[in-house]
Structure 1
Amino acid sequence: MTQHFRGTTISGLKFCRDLGSGLLFFTAICSSPAAYAQQLDAYEDGRQLAEDGEPAPAITGCESADVEIGSVIGQSAPANANCSDQRPVTIGFRQNLGRDYRRMQDFVARNSALQVGWPAEYEMSRLADDPSQLVLFDMLHPPISASAGDTDISFVSNNYDTSAIEQKVYSAIVLGNPDDPQFSEKFDREIAKIIRARALVAYALPTGRHQYSLCAEKENQPCPDTGNSILRNLGTYDKVRFAVRNESEIPQYVYLFLISPDNELRLVMSSKSALEPGAMLEAQGDPIELVQGRYHIFTLRSDSPIDDAIFQSDITKIDPSKCNSAGAEALCIFLSGQDISIPRWQKLAPQSWSMNVETIAAIVRKSRSVGGGDVVKAGFAPWQVQIYSNQTYTQAQIDEDTEKRAKGKSLVKQLPFQRYHRCAGSLIAKNIVLTAAHCVAHPPVDGKKVLATREVLVGTQTLSKGGARYRIVSVVVHKGYKPGSQKDDIAVLRIEPIAAPATQYAIKLPNDVTGFSKIVAGSKISVLGWGYTGVVGRTERHERTQAGPQFAQDKLRIAAMQAYDTSACKLLSGYQNIDKKICAVTPEDRTKPGNSFSCRGDSGGPVIQQSNGRVVQVGLVSGGVGCGANENGKQNPSLFVDLAQYTNWIKQAEMRVRAISNSVEPQP
């Protein structure tokens, strides 16, 4: 047969058109209808509802009634002309798609790798926290029924770890806003990554044929000198380094790569020379910080070297010229995310190859550093922007800072995005940013200097990658703001792209929402930012507390807070001049240990309230005494500008900032 690979023909592979023994994706699903109780809002009598409420036509193919538990189509199951190893990804739709239901059906219908049906491997829904965003929920990994035997579950027989599958972990892929011009491209790319992950898992050998041992070093838990895999007791935020030992009797080239919960592929390590029997290969560089969800970890061994270039994270950039052996040729097809067949390793791989997969579930079982909150879900805050310095440090400045030791900022230990991060802000209209006045009008960036020394990053929640750079064209600062004070700490910026622009999304303000209720004591709110996550006492430096140095966070975080009574807040030392401010502390009904708060690096960023899927910016980060420290039995509150009291000012400031250029002006 001939396979078409990104426009390049790859021939010579004789793919088996039977399903692999040990991988039947729907067997477990079809035999466990209880696992799909969460689908009942979208389906009636096992059939998908069309937009008008009538059941949609049932899909053709391998119906559940045709397949007995534990059987393999093409072998122990009866022959069926509609059943083959060409297995499109099955997508279901939830009713909350509303007007986008038909459009999303068209997206699925035009893609030959997909089909509409039930049970579904993935279900499309709206993101609860931001209904403008569509997501795919992974329905392939519901918790396994306690009564199900191993023969009923294809996942286990194909190297999935049972305990990993049983974990109830959040697993969703954010597709974005369907009105975004890039939505179609992103949708196709995410589907390709799903197909890639499915094919690679199917391509792996059964667990009983290990020729290596795999472990994950964590904190003070090094890999043992001998023994089997150690991939247990891993949780969200654990930082791990993987290691592989050659357990075979011959030298082998070893490659370890993984697929993360968002289906991204990462080559963790590869041996540059054959690994001798008994020798261990350990990953170099920074450890991998686990996020919540399931990881598929693949270990591939070969008697001959494999080009690292085929393990491209970007699914569109695999170079077919690097796939220059029988094994690599097969692997490249699956890495491309285009082949929807369910492969059988024995018919594809040369004898000199073997590959295994192990699945782990990283679950939330401990809190991050106190105050750190949680990493924001992908796509949740498209209106969040970063304000950063474009004035780079020289090597002499970094050396000088290093010589200061505890009195320095530890610049040498910081990544570039950490050295230059300054503040945050939010898009309230196209090219209009709302932020704190002290971010753009406090020496040494007061006056027009801010236009030359600060820029804005738009379109990413991760500071180390993505986003588009914008210059600041004009600034309007509240006339009542004085550097060093808390009063009227608010400003509006107009920005323009330096190169290619980013897709922009504006957040709603209190005046945009009919019937908005102002923030009062006890109101539940959330603060977002890339700032420091460690508690800072009244007399401590933000950069270097008793716990050691701390830096800006790479991924945007969110922390739940609760509005504190303003009168009581004014009685605290350092909180007298807080008119038009929201005082906020850790919620009384906290679910995690430690305080929640805003800190340096969060300034200017949005404070939001969420209700019935609606996200409203009610404040912006302004200040506080230290960061979340307890004094005399009370937490030092965080201070946020109360936007409901600046409605008219924001309107006037937006009009003025659009009318001026290359200027910084006060606005009463």
Structure 2
Amino acid sequence: MTVIWRQRTKSVVPRADDPVLIFVRFGAPVSSIAMSLVSCRSRLVVCSVCNATMSAMGFVLHRGWRCAGLLAGILLAGTPVIAGQDFSAVPADPGLLKRPVADALAPADWTADVPIRLEVEPGEAADAVRGVALSVPGVRIGEPALYALRTKRNFPLTLQLVNLWEPESAWQLSDEGELSPMRVPRTIELGNLELGDYAQPLRAALQQIALVNALVARAGPPGTQRSITCFAPAGDGPLPPECDVKGDPSDARPPAELKYPNAGFNFAVGNRSGAPQYVALLLVDADNKVMRVPLQGGSPLQPGGWAASAGSPDLNNPGRLLLVTLSSDKPIPEDIATRGVQEGDGISVAVQQRSLADKRPVAIGGGIDAPEFASPWMAQFYSTVPYTEVDLKADDRKTGADKEHLRERNPEELAHRCGGTLIAPNLVLTAAHCVAKDGFAGKDAVKVLTTRRVRLGTQDLGRGGATYAIDAMVVHAGYVNRQTPNDIALLRLKPDRDTWDSGATPIPLLAGRDMTPPLTPRTAVTAYGWGYREVVAPDAAPLFNAAGEVQRNPGRLQAGTMQALDLQSCRGRMGKPLGEKMLCAVPPTDARGHTLANVFSCRGDSGGPLIRTLRGQDMLVGVASWSYGCGFGNYASVYTDVAKYAAWIGRAQQELQAGKVVWVDAQLKASTQPPSPARQ
């Protein structure tokens, strides 16, 4: 079922082949509704057609064949639309904007400073830690402390930042109990006191906490708020949205204690002031990670108007959740989530605090749909040259493992080639075998610039977001066609006629470029991709699973939690020497070594990211490269180790040339001529 929902003149285009159910509730005449079909060969069935004065209408549109696009424009003078199995957070009550703000939802006694407790054994190390912490503006040592600096149990040289303000009910499972998992306060591992590598992570963590504290401390009294913020679980039926206002006197529920499941959420912001307002909505999770929720429309919100979220973010970090709504007479800076609100910005801040119930961490193959908005740096690398009828007929004549079953695949699957990661506003890092293999090897790699594109800003395969031309490319000169070492390449993007603002943002941290704590065995990492999801035996065709069934690419981006494996152990598993610049990831295990879920990378995931989360920020640590089969036995998924190629990436950025492919070798020497096999 496709969702179509509407706020003023912005509409959402449904997917092809979906039945669509639209419910419209409004008080305006039916003549204010306009609908049109564009390039659609399907049937249109309209039911429950009402007269021009009826206040509720229902339309059912069913399309039995593929439809190139459906444009539904519903001009409702600001009234909400509920469609299909997803529901807007815009409330139906027009008087809600006039209700008093609920005092109980505002965080109490929030100050801009960050009081911490130092629990490190006295000595030079403690003095050094104290000096680093106090170098961050707003941080002080005092009580009641929000965080403690202490060393890890059984690892007295490992410095940790421990959350002291969360209740015990929100503590997380950890393997610090050795024999079995135990619940501990939310903890960030910073580094080693002997090595001194904790300093930069400690500063960054405290700076992020200080930024959030300063932001929330700017919230005005409830009676001065210019906006109202509402939210509702997505897909749970037409439930009344929860809003930061006082409810009906007969409703005895304490809103500050409401706990919602970790599912997708729809949000809406309403303008309760008497003047047009620009609005922005930020979500701050319990790790102080700040995420800006895209809102529909870019113009000022008129008095009494509502702006709904452009999607339903999946919130998967249990604990405290802050909804920070910003209002201003002027456009709100795009980087407000990282810079914070400054004195003189003229921005009104409203905050409500909620709580999210616990949910098991996301377990790619063995993965689940990636949370909405959680991977704005994810890139799709795809072909612009479709298969011809000659190609399809040739595939029809094939049998067994040689047959690719092209006719069974949709256009998005046929076009998909690889994943990638946006590491700068116009730079995507991917695997060399995605751009320089077989028909694109050597001098033919230049064809990538004309026959391939990159899609950003969407988690749907081949749909949404914005697409970019590739105007330059650098490939590692040490990469050899169909071999695994030096499997890395850099693409430079160029907007063109088919490009618009995608909302994509580069990944914050890059291993090797930014301060990178060691990726020790069992460190949690997350893989992302649109690859096949079922087990494949070594030397078998990845197109078929172990049961011989044809695999399909998922329509939504998949994410799966894995853990790092040291190279020596990985060599023992793979039965093949691994290069020192490779990184192995395996399914996650519990403290006893039992596998929690079979998570792996497979065909279609190549070039995609392996992500480590540090201090609430995402760091790219690996580029999907190869494996033996997919998730078979105890074989690992192998990635190019980004940290080992930091210097190469820096040099590659300097060597990019418009309209050309450049090869940069391990000595950082560049050439526009592809290397000969002897040089490789």
Q: TM-score, normalised by structure 1?
A: 0.51
1:17-72: CA deviations, max 9, x gaps? Answer: xx999x99999x99xx9xx8xx68x235xxxx68799xxxxxxxxxxxxxxxxxxx
The match for 1:172 is 265
2:654 partner letter: M
Q: Per the alignment, do residues 379 and 568 of structure 1 end up closer, same or farther by CA in structure 2, a change over 3 Å counting?
A: same
1:434 partner letter: L
Q: Per the alignment, do residues 105 and 487 of structure 1 end up closer, same or farther by CA in structure 2, a change over 3 Å counting?
A: farther
The match for 2:568 is 567
1:94-153: CA deviations, max 9, x gaps? Answer: 9975555599989x9897xx43xxxx7559xxxxxxxxxxxxxx98399xxxxxxx9968
The match for 1:654 is 653
Distance between the aligned counterparts of 2:381 and 2:500, measured in 1?
16
Q: Per the alignment, do residues 196 and 456 of structure 1 end up closer, same or farther by CA in structure 2, a change over 3 Å counting?
A: closer
Distance between the aligned counterparts of 1:464 and 1:193, measured in 2?
33
Q: Give the deviation of 1:444 after TM superposition.
A: 1.3
SS at 2:448 equivalent: helix
Distance between the aligned counterparts of 2:595 and 2:225, measured in 1?
45
Q: Give the deviation of 1:436 after TM superposition.
A: 0.6
2:622 partner letter: G
Distance between the aligned counterparts of 2:562 and 2:436, measured in 1?
28
The match for 1:638 is 637
Q: Per the alignment, do residues 662 and 24 of structure 1 end up closer, same or farther by CA in structure 2, a change over 3 Å counting?
A: closer
Q: Give the deviation of 1:171 after TM superposition.
A: 4.1
Q: Give the deviation of 1:10 after TM superposition.
A: 3.4
Residue 376, structure 1, aligned to residue 370, structure 2: yes
SS at 1:646 equivalent: helix
Q: Give the deviation of 1:9 after TM superposition.
A: 9.8
Tell whether the 8 Å contact from 1:383 to 1:504 is kept in structure 2 after alignment: yes
The match for 1:140 is 242
Tell whether the 8 Å contact from 1:24 to 1:154 is kept in structure 2 after alignment: no
Tell whether the 8 Å contact from 1:390 to 1:454 is kept in structure 2 after alignment: yes
SS at 2:297 equivalent: helix
Counterpart among 465, 479, 491 of residue 489 in structure 2: 491
Q: CA RMSD in A?
A: 5.1
1:41-52 matches, within 5 Å, as 42-43=107-108
Q: Give the deviation of 1:493 after TM superposition.
A: 1.0
Distance between the aligned counterparts of 1:654 and 1:575, measured in 2?
32
Ranges in structure 2 where 5+ consecutive residues have no aligned partner: 1-6, 11-25, 30-51, 56-90, 115-208, 233-239, 245-249, 268-280, 284-289, 317-357, 666-680
SS at 1:570 equivalent: helix
1:459 partner letter: G
The match for 2:332 is none
Q: Per the alignment, do residues 96 and 171 of structure 1 end up closer, same or farther by CA in structure 2, a change over 3 Å counting?
A: farther
Q: Per the alignment, do residues 594 and 9 of structure 1 end up closer, same or farther by CA in structure 2, a change over 3 Å counting?
A: closer
Q: Per the alignment, do residues 186 and 529 of structure 1 end up closer, same or farther by CA in structure 2, a change over 3 Å counting?
A: farther
The match for 1:627 is 630
Distance between the aligned counterparts of 2:493 and 2:251, measured in 1?
60
SS at 1:484 equivalent: coil
Q: Per the alignment, do residues 6 and 570 of structure 1 end up closer, same or farther by CA in structure 2, a change over 3 Å counting?
A: closer
Tell whether the 8 Å contact from 2:380 to 2:454 is kept in structure 1 after alignment: yes
Q: Per the alignment, do residues 438 and 464 of structure 1 end up closer, same or farther by CA in structure 2, a change over 3 Å counting?
A: closer
Distance between the aligned counterparts of 2:304 and 2:551, measured in 1?
38
Q: Per the alignment, do residues 481 and 109 of structure 1 end up closer, same or farther by CA in structure 2, a change over 3 Å counting?
A: farther
Counterpart among 398, 407, 411 of residue 412 in structure 1: 407
Counterpart among 355, 363, 382 of residue 388 in structure 1: 382
Q: Per the alignment, do residues 365 and 604 of structure 1 end up closer, same or farther by CA in structure 2, a change over 3 Å counting?
A: closer
1:564 partner letter: L
Distance between the aligned counterparts of 2:311 and 2:230, measured in 1?
15
The match for 1:476 is 474
Distance between the aligned counterparts of 2:575 and 2:304, measured in 1?
55
Q: Per the alignment, do residues 179 and 610 of structure 1 end up closer, same or farther by CA in structure 2, a change over 3 Å counting?
A: closer
Q: Give the deviation of 1:505 after TM superposition.
A: 1.5
Distance between the aligned counterparts of 1:472 and 1:429, measured in 2?
14
The match for 2:195 is none
Give aligned pairs, total: 408
The match for 1:185 is 297
Q: Per the alignment, do residues 459 and 43 of structure 1 end up closer, same or farther by CA in structure 2, a change over 3 Å counting?
A: same
Tell whether the 8 Å contact from 1:521 to 1:566 is kept in structure 2 after alignment: no
Q: Give the deviation of 1:662 after TM superposition.
A: 1.4
Distance between the aligned counterparts of 2:304 and 2:463, measured in 1?
21
2:407 partner letter: V
The match for 2:673 is none
Distance between the aligned counterparts of 1:563 and 1:667, measured in 2?
28
Q: Per the alignment, do residues 110 and 388 of structure 1 end up closer, same or farther by CA in structure 2, a change over 3 Å counting?
A: farther
Distance between the aligned counterparts of 2:543 and 2:219, measured in 1?
48
The match for 1:442 is 437
Q: Give the deviation of 1:394 after TM superposition.
A: 1.9
Distance between the aligned counterparts of 2:422 and 2:311, measured in 1?
29
Q: Give the deviation of 1:195 after TM superposition.
A: 8.8
The match for 1:663 is 660
Residue 599, structure 1, aligned to residue 598, structure 2: no
Distance between the aligned counterparts of 1:647 and 1:424, measured in 2?
20
Q: Per the alignment, do residues 428 and 109 of structure 1 end up closer, same or farther by CA in structure 2, a change over 3 Å counting?
A: farther
Tell whether the 8 Å contact from 1:372 to 1:596 is kept in structure 2 after alignment: yes
SS at 2:439 equivalent: coil
Distance between the aligned counterparts of 1:376 and 1:667, measured in 2?
34
The match for 2:521 is 521
Q: Give the deviation of 1:545 after TM superposition.
A: 2.1
Tell whether the 8 Å contact from 1:574 to 1:625 is kept in structure 2 after alignment: no
The match for 1:544 is 544
Tell whether the 8 Å contact from 1:424 to 1:435 is kept in structure 2 after alignment: yes
The match for 1:233 is none
Q: Per the alignment, do residues 394 and 565 of structure 1 end up closer, same or farther by CA in structure 2, a change over 3 Å counting?
A: same
The match for 2:312 is 262
The match for 1:582 is 583
Distance between the aligned counterparts of 2:266 and 2:492, measured in 1?
32
Residue 425, structure 1, aligned to residue 420, structure 2: yes
Distance between the aligned counterparts of 1:109 and 1:188, measured in 2?
19
Q: Per the alignment, do residues 601 and 6 of structure 1 end up closer, same or farther by CA in structure 2, a change over 3 Å counting?
A: closer
2:381 partner letter: I
1:340-373: CA deviations, max 9, x gaps? Answer: xxxxxxxxxxxxxxxxxxxxxxx989999x9331
Distance between the aligned counterparts of 1:628 and 1:558, measured in 2?
15
Q: Which has the higher helix share?
A: 1
1:108-257 matches, within 5 Å, as 114-115=227-228, 121-122=230-231, 140=242, 168-173=261-266, 185=297
Distance between the aligned counterparts of 1:591 and 1:556, measured in 2?
27
1:400 partner letter: A
Tell whether the 8 Å contact from 1:176 to 1:183 is kept in structure 2 after alignment: no
1:290-329: CA deviations, max 9, x gaps? Answer: 999xxxxxxxxxxxxxxxxxxxxxxxxxxxxxxxxxxxxx
Distance between the aligned counterparts of 1:501 and 1:100, measured in 2?
31
Tell whether the 8 Å contact from 2:231 to 2:266 is kept in structure 1 after alignment: no
Distance between the aligned counterparts of 1:392 and 1:414, measured in 2?
12
Q: Per the alignment, do residues 97 and 121 of structure 1 end up closer, same or farther by CA in structure 2, a change over 3 Å counting?
A: farther
1:638 partner letter: S
Q: Per the alignment, do residues 404 and 614 of structure 1 end up closer, same or farther by CA in structure 2, a change over 3 Å counting?
A: same
1:645 partner letter: K
Distance between the aligned counterparts of 2:308 and 2:493, measured in 1?
39
SS at 2:588 equivalent: coil
The match for 2:28 is 10
